[in-house]
C-alpha cells in the first residue's frame, strides 16, 4: 500500500529528475528536446540582442572607425561562435550531454575540472560587469533628472543587483521566462531605434568619417585588437553552446542557427554600440544612450538595460551553479548554499566596481585567451581523432578504469596543448597589460593560438594516446558499459 | 532535548531521502544511456563533411577574407 507521503515523494522525485535532465547533467533524450530550427533561432536571437553588445561596440569605437569596426566585430563574432560550436554543439546535441561532461572525453575526468574553472570565471566575470553596467545606468538616469548622487551609489546598486539575482537563482530561473519574453522584443526596438537615429540624424558619410575615440599609433594593431574583441565576443558563448545544443532536435539545427544568431547577428547588434560610440564620442553605453534619443528615450533604454542585465546575470549565475555540481564535495550542498559559494567572487565587483568595469575590454579578450585553445583542441579530438563518436556512459564513469580517465584522470597532452595555446596568446597579446609582439598586428592572437595547439595535440594524441590504446580512440565499443563509480 | 531529538530525526530523514534521490538519479542515468544506445548513429541527422566544408567556407574563410580586405 502506497501512503500519501510516498506518493508525494515519488512525484517530487520525478520532477527533480526531469529538472536535472533539462537543466542539469542527465543526458537529454530525443523526446524531451524543446528546440526546433525556429525556436533555437528565437532563443539565439534573444541571447544575441544582449546589453553587453553595446559595451563591446563601445570598446571597438575607442580604437577603430566604422568600416573596420563593422568588419572586425561581425567577422570576429561569427568566426568565434563557429569555432567554439563546431565540436561542442555537435557532441552535446548527439548525446544530449552537458558541455563540461563533453570536455571529459578530451581533457579527462579530473582535467575537465580545470576547464570548469575557466567556465565559472567567464560566467561570474560577465555577471559582475553587467551588474556594474546596470548600477551605472541607474546612476546616470538619476543624474539626468538633475539629482546629484554620491560615489556610494554604484557599489550599492551593484550589491542590490547581486542580492536580487541571488534571490531569483535560489528560487529558480523559470520566473525569468515571462520577463525575457517582454524585455527581448523591447531591446530589439531599442536597437532598431538606435540604427534609425544614427542614420537619420548623421548619415552614412558622417559615420564613415568619424575617427576612433582613443586609438594607439599603430593602425594595424588597432584593427587586429578590434578583431580580437569580435572573436572574444564570439568565444564568450562557449559555455552556453552545449546548454542550448543538447536541447535541440537535430545536428544541423544545433549548429547553424547558433552561428547565425549568436555570431553574425550579435556582431550586427554590436555595431549599434560602435556607431553610437563614434558619433557621440563616448564608449560607455550608459552615457551615450541618454544622448542618442534624448532623456525620455535614454531613461527608457537604460531601464531596459538594467532589467535585461538582472535577467542575464541570473541565468549566467544559474548555469555557473549547475556547473559547480561537477565538483564532488559540492554535490551534497543544498542549492542555496552552493549558489552562495558561487556568488562570493562577485563581492569584488561591489568593492571595486569602476576599476573592474573599465577593464571589461581586457576581460573580453581574456575570453578569447581561454576558449580559443580549448575549442581548437576539442575540435581536433572530437572530429578528427574520434570521428564524431563518444561512449556517453563513460563520461559518467569516475573509476580509474574508465575510458576517459586517461592518465590519473588527466589527459596531459590535451591540457598541455591548451596551456601552450594560452601562453602563446598571452605572448602575442596580453589582455591585462596590453603588451603585444609583432605577429599580432598581422596574424591576431586567436588564429595562431587556435591552429598551433590543434596541430600539436593531433601529433601528440596520434603517437602517445591512439597508439597506446589510451582514451578510447580505437577498439572501444560505443555502447554503454555498467558504471562502477558514477559521477552524478 | 525533545527539540534536539526532532532535529536529529529530521536530519536523518533528509539524509535518507537524499540517498534515495541519488540512487534514483543513477537508475535514471542508466535508463537514459540505454535509450541513447538504441538511437543508432544517424538518429539526429548527420552533420556531413559537406556541412563542415560549407561552414568553414562561409563562417570562417569569408569573414577572414573580409577582415583581410579591409586592412
A13–B24 C-beta distance less than 8 A:
yes
Residue with the three cell numbers 590504446: A469
A90-123 in b/e form (b: 16+ CB < 10 A) is bbbbbbbbbbbbbbbbbbbbbbbbbbbebbbbbb
Give yes or no for residue A78 having a pLDDT over 90: yes
ipTM value, please give it.
0.85
Give the pLDDT score at B49.
Answer: 87
B44 chain-A contacts, CB cut-off 8 A: 30, 93-94, 249-251
Q: How many Å apart are CA B6 and CA A308, to the nearest integer?
A: 45
Give mean pLDDT, residues A244-260.
90
CB A111 within 8 A of CB A415: yes
Whose cell is 515523494? That residue is A9
pLDDT score at B5: 63
pLDDT, tens digit, 9 for 90 and up, residues B11-28: 676 667 667 777 777 788
**Residues of chain A neighbouring B70 (CB-CB closer than 8 A):** 67-68, 71, 223
pLDDT at residue A461, rounded to an integer = 96
Residues of A in contact with B32 (CB under 8 A): 21, 26-27, 29, 96
User: Side-chain half-sphere of A103: how many Cα atoms within 13 Å?
Assistant: 31
Q: Which three cell numbers stand for residue A93?
A: 546535441
Give the Cα separation of A420 and A426 in Å (integer): 10
Across the interface, of B17, B21, B36, the residue whose CB is closest to A27 is B36
Judge: B45–A93 Cβ closer than 8 Å, yes or no. no
Residue pLDDT, tens place only, A199-209: 888 888 999 99
Please tell me the pTM assigned to this model. Answer: 0.87
> Which residue has better confidence, A125 or A307?
A125
**What residues of B are in the A interface, CB distance below 8 Å?**
17-18, 20-21, 24-26, 28-30, 32-37, 39, 41, 43-47, 51-52, 55, 59-60, 63-64, 66-67, 70-71
What is the nearest CA distance from A382 to chain B, expressed in angstroms?
A: 13
| Mean pLDDT of the A269-275 span | 92
User: Is B60 in Cβ contact with A82 (below 8 Å)?
Assistant: yes
Model pLDDT for residues A222-238, shown as the tens digit of each residue: 999 999 999 988 988 88
Provide the β-strand partners of residue A248: A35
Which pLDDT score is estimated for A8? 74
> Looking at residues A427-431, what average pLDDT do you find?
92
Q: Is the pLDDT of residue B63 over 90?
A: yes
What is the Cα–Cα distance from B64 to A422, expressed in whole angstroms?
21
**Best of A31, A71, A76 to mutate (most B CBs within 10 Å, chain B):** A71
The gap from C-alpha A275 to its chain's centroid, in whole angstroms, comes to 24
Does the pLDDT value for residue A405 go beyond 60?
Answer: yes
Q: Which residue has the higher pLDDT, A53 or A159?
A: A159
Confidence of residue A463 (pLDDT cuts 50, 70, 90): very high
Position A192 scores a pLDDT of 87
Average pLDDT score, chain A: 87
To 5 degrees, how large is the angle CA A185–CA A235–CA A437?
Answer: 135
Instruction: Give A29 or B64, the one with higher predicted confidence.
Output: B64
Nearest to A71 among B29, B45, B67 (CB): B67
The whole-angstrom separation of Cα A441 and Cα A398 is 44
Q: Do A249 and B44 touch (CB under 8 A)?
A: yes
Residue A319 in contact with residue A89, Cβ under 8 Å? no
Contacts of A124 (CB under 8 A, 6+ apart): A316, A317, A320, A342, A345, A346
Amino acid at each position: 500500500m502506497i501512503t500519501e507521503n510516498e506518493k508525494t515523494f515519488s512525484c517530487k522525485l520525478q520532477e527533480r529528475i526531469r529538472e536535472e535532465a533539462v537543466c542539469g547533467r542527465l543526458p537529454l533524450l530525443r523526446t524531451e528536446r524543446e528546440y526546433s530550427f525556429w525556436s533555437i533561432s528565437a532563443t539565439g536571437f534573444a541571447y544575441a540582442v544582449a546589453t553587453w553588445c553595446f559595451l563591446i561596440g563601445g570598446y571597438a569605437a575607442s580604437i577603430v572607425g566604422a568600416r573596420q569596426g563593422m568588419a572586425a566585430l561581425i567577422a570576429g563574432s561569427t568566426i568565434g561562435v563557429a569555432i567554439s560550436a563546431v565540436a561542442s554543439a555537435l557532441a552535446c546535441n548527439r548525446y544530449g550531454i552537458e558541455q563540461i561532461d563533453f570536455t571529459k572525453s578530451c581533457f579527462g575526468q579530473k582535467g575537465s575540472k580545470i576547464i570548469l574553472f575557466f567556465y565559472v570565471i567567464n560566467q561570474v566575470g560577465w555577471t559582475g560587469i553587467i551588474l556594474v553596467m546596470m548600477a551605472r545606468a541607474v546612476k546616470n538616469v538619476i543624474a539626468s533628472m538633475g539629482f546629484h548622487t554620491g560615489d556610494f551609489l554604484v557599489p550599492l546598486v551593484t550589491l542590490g543587483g547581486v542580492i536580487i539575482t541571488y534571490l531569483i537563482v535560489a528560487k529558480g530561473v523559470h520566473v525569468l521566462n515571462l520577463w525575457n519574453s517582454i524585455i527581448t522584443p523591447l531591446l530589439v526596438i531599442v536597437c532598431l531605434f538606435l540604427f534609425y537615429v544614427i542614420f537619420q540624424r548623421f548619415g552614412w558619410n558622417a559615420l564613415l568619417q568619424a575617427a576612433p575615440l582613443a586609438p594607439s599609433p599603430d593602425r594595424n594593431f588597432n584593427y587586429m585588437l578590434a578583431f580580437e574583441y569580435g572573436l572574444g565576443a564570439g568565444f564568450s558563448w562557449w559555455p552556453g553552446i552545449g546548454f542550448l545544443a543538447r536541447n535541440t532536435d537535430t545536428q544541423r539545427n544545433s549548429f547553424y542557427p547558433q552561428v547565425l544568431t549568436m555570431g553574425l547577428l550579435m556582431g550586427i547588434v554590436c555595431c549599434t554600440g560602435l556607431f553610437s560610440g563614434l558619433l557621440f564620442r563616448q564608449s560607455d553605453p550608459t552615457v551615450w544612450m541618454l544622448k542618442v534619443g534624448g532623456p525620455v528615450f535614454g531613461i527608457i533604454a537604460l531601464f531596459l538595460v538594467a532589467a535585461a542585465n538582472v535577467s542575464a546575470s541570473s541565468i549566467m549565475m544559474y548555469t555557473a551553479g549547475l556547473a559547480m555540481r561537477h565538483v564532488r564535495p559540492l554535490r551534497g550542498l543544498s542549492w542555496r548554499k552552493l549558489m552562495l559559494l558561487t556568488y562570493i567572487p562577485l563581492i569584488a565587483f561591489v568593492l571595486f566596481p569602476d576599476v573592474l568595469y573599465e577593464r571589461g575590454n581586457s576581460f573580453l579578450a581574456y575570453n578569447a585567451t581561454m576558449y580559443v585553445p580549448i575549442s581548437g583542441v576539442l575540435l581536433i579530438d572530437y572530429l578528427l581523432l574520434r570521428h564524431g563518436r563518444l561512449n556517453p556512459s563513460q563520461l559518467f564513469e569516475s573509476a580509474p578504469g574508465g575510458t576517459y580517465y586517461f592518465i590519473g584522470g588527466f589527459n596531459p597532452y590535451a591540457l598541455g596543448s591548451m596551456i601552450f595555446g594560452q601562453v602563446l596568446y598571452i605572448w602575442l597579446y596580453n589582455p591585462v597589460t596590453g603588451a603585444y609582439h609583432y605577429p599580432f598586428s598581422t596574424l591576431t592572437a586567436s588564429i595562431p593560438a587556435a591552429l598551433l595547439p590543434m596541430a600539436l595535440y593531433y601529433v601528440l594524441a596520434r603517437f602517445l594516446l591512439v597508439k597506446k590504446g589510451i582514451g578510447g580512440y580505437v577498439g572501444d565499443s560505443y555502447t554503454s558499459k555498467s558504471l562502477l563509480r558514477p559521477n552524478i | 532535548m525533545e527539540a534536539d531529538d526532532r532535529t536529529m530525526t529530521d536530519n536523518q530523514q533528509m539524509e535518507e531521502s537524499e540517498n534515495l534521490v541519488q540512487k534514483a538519479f543513477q537508475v535514471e542515468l542508466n535508463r537514459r544511456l540505454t535509450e541513447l544506445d538504441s538511437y543508432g548513429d544517424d538518429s539526429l541527422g548527420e552533420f556531413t563533411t559537406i556541412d563542415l566544408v560549407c561552414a568553414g567556407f562561409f563562417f570562417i574563410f569569408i569573414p577572414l577574407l573580409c577582415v583581410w580586405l579591409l586592412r
